[in-house]
Amino acid sequence: MKPVPHATSLRRAPVQRRSAERLTRILDACADLLDEVGYDALSTRAVALRAGVPIGSVYRFFGNKRQMADALAQRNLERFTEHVTERLKDSGEGGWRTAMDAVLDEYLSMKRTAPGFSLVDFGNQIPVGARDAGPNHRVADRLSDLLSGYLDREPDENLRRTFLIAVETADTLVHLAFRVAPEGDAKIIEEAREMLRAYLARVLD
């Protein structure tokens, strides 16, 4: 069974497999429609229709479309964490450079392939153009917990601050790369990678 969003983003967390599968269909439909019509034109009724579920099933989990977008962002973060974890399992002992490449490459992959990601990513794009510090703090905290063992460091305040600065830098430059080119401008992405390497080398080496 696929992981479901954290219970705080739902009115009611699914218990049975059938309910979890219905929630997955709802979030998949939400993501597809975000790409097709945007957030402003998104509606719970359209999501229910696309997911093939009664409108009551949508309201069982979500009070409105904002809660649905928040749950999609949380699912994106869970999937991102899983992908980075799986990639690092196969990477051996590569240190922070391998970890940084895994994090950046998986983020770029989701930007290019995950439905709805261009609008909600990890939660900071709705309303469109809004920038909220909360999601990047959550990503930095998640990476600190995930990578501390891999890097043989304590997930303390210093490491969390280091990852927050790296996440904010990557977020800004990747968004710039995707404004310049639909698949992400390769030169801007490489500049972002070099900037992250230089910063993390100073802090982590």
User: In angstroms, what CA-CA distances link 137 with 14, 16, 45, 155, 171?
Assistant: 27, 32, 32, 14, 12
* Distance of alpha carbon 65 from alpha carbon 46, whole angstroms: 11
Q: Given 1.20.1090.10, 1.10.10.60, 3.30.460.80, 3.40.50.720, which CATH number is that of 7-66?
A: 1.10.10.60
Q: Is 77 helix (H, G, I), strand (E, B) or coil?
A: helix
pLDDT at 5: 46
Confirm if 145 and 85 have CB atoms less than 8 A apart. Answer: no
From CA 50, how far away is CA 31, in angstroms rounded? Answer: 11
Instruction: State the pTM of this model.
Output: 0.86
Contact 159, 148 (CB under 8 A): yes
Predicted pLDDT of residue 134: 76
Burial of 110 (0-12, 13-18, 19+ CB in 10 A): middle
Q: Determine the residue type at 42.
A: L
> For each successive 10 residues of the chain (205 residues), what is the average pLDDT?
49 74 95 94 95 94 91 93 90 84 95 93 64 78 90 90 94 95 96 96 90
CA dihedral 192, 194, 196, 202 (to 10 degrees): -160
Q: What pLDDT is recorded for position 124?
A: 53
Domain residue limits, the chain: 7-66, 73-204
Please tell me if the domain spanning 7-66 has the same topology as the one spanning 73-204: no
The CATH class, in words, for 73-204 is mainly alpha
pLDDT of 123 reads 75
Q: Quick one: three-class SS letters along 147-178?
A: HHHHHCCCCCHHHHHHHHHHHHHHHHHHHHHH
The alpha-helical segments, DSSP class H, found in the chain are 17-37, 44-51, 55-61, 65-89, 95-113, 117-120, 133-151, 157-180, 186-204
Q: Rounded to an integer, what distance in angstroms lies between the CA atom of residue 88 and that of residue 90?
A: 5
pLDDT attached to residue 116: 94
pLDDT of residue 178: 95
39 contacts 119 by C-beta, under 8 angstroms:
yes
